[in-house]
Structure 1
Amino acid sequence: MFRREYIETEWRGCPSITGKLEELVKESGIQEGLCVVSAPDLTTALGITSFWDKRGLEDLMDELDRDFPARVDYKSQRTPFDSVGNVKGAVVGRSLSLIIHEGKLVLGSSQGVVLLEFDGPRRRPYEVQLVERSLTLYKTGIKTQYMGMCGITDWVRSCVKESGVKEGLCHVSQLHSTAGILLCGRSEPAKADLMADIERMVPTRADFKHRETASDAGGHVKTALTGSQISLAVHHGELVIGEDQDLVFAEFDGPRPRTVYAAVMGEKM
């Protein structure tokens, strides 16, 4: 089932599309599968983030403005906001996938899907493809430290092996608003460098508008920028991943007990 939907945006902001996605899943009648969402316009993006405090969404937009300010020296020069909006959209990402299980989107209690507007106001399209596929859903618990990365590649490989799928897809997601799922270098120095640069890009500090804690407020922004999910191919019964790559759970506001999900789908030949 494919649908193109539209949403009216303001000059900048993060309007929610979660309710519409849930409505489409219910309408489709699909019980197991994937919901693939994409934003075709260059000055928009899609993100999964917390919806509890609107000030957290303002923090996200403010941080993107700080890291990628509108300026007049872009080579792509339609308008400064159009040019920088293209950059922001590429950094945040314009597509995401969500697991459908038992007829519902698999989202955390504080998670929502938003369309980020960088050059509004406009009537923005977003495209939704609902794919019905039989899947096996696995989950595991992780105890994290304050900030850091925990490798989950071996666990995901074990899920693929247990599923019996030979050719298909493994979709990995986490349902928290201050953590991420990343594919990075296997070495500990490489992971340390990545965490350090994420912290440099979004420093933990006291001037966020979201007022729970500094690490919580910064964690919401880091999660939106790094992503909460990833899809990897399964070929000959094995997870397709580079020799020097590691699939990791990134903690931005620990220590906490966390949960990771893996949905394996495909042909069992």
Structure 2
Amino acid sequence: MTPVAEPLLRLSGIRVVFGSFTAVDGVDLSVAENELRFLIGPNGAGKTTLIDVVTGRVRPSGGRVLFGGRDITGLREHAIVRAGIGRTFQTATVFEQLTVADNVDLAACYRMGPLRLLRRRRGLSDTVAAVLERVGLLALADRPAGVLSHGQRQWLEIGMLLAQSPRLLLLDEPVAGMSAGERERTGELLVEIAADHTVVVVEHDMDFLRRYARDVTVLHEGRVLTEGTVAQVQADERVQEVYLGRNVDVAAPLAVGAEGE
């Protein structure tokens, strides 16, 4: 009998309590190596809080986070980055005055000591060029990051993560505010990245999810409501009730509002 591979990320009984409010209530979640997992749920479901727990921004009130079999519960953010986990935020965080290439180069140098960081680089390194080509920004390498479009900034931030060689990428609403063309390019990029990384995406664009999601976890009121393929999740009457407040035709698309966590 073939043994079952250990998940890359395993959350066990995660609870997060802020005063009298329970934001996450006993969540169990497993994500396999090279999986492209989408997290969805209505406002206040606990999605962003769960990512904050994984990345060390929030210390859980209970439960454990295992990454690659190692317990990383409660580690500081920089230690979790070094362990191989990277995340983006709903608003891309880039250094606007630096060039696109310099942003990626700076991210790639995060393991270097201060003396190496002080040495001025000449030209475009192979590592930076490869990352920029992968995210479609190589032609803009010498442009200031501040002139990029909204979608391009998101791709740059993903590129900055890739430059750190993470095993797991956590992306918080990566296509919010993008044009149709940018959403399509982002979806293709996520599928490509998942070939050699594990990717977890918090998303509300259901059309985007239907096109690119493989596995979906639905959160509601801090708990896992259901998991499965897009078709399985969309046909689940509990999911329909959570999103629309009534039973609907299972063929109808789910409408999702903005995140309120």
The TM-score, its normalising length taken from structure 1, stands at 0.23
Q: Counting strand residues as a fraction of each chain, which structure ranks higher?
A: 1
Task: Identify which of structures 1 and 2 has the higher relative contact order when contacts are C-alpha pairs closer than 8 Å and 6+ apart.
Answer: 1
Q: Counting helix residues as a fraction of each chain, which structure ranks higher?
A: 2
The TM-score, its normalising length taken from structure 2, stands at 0.24
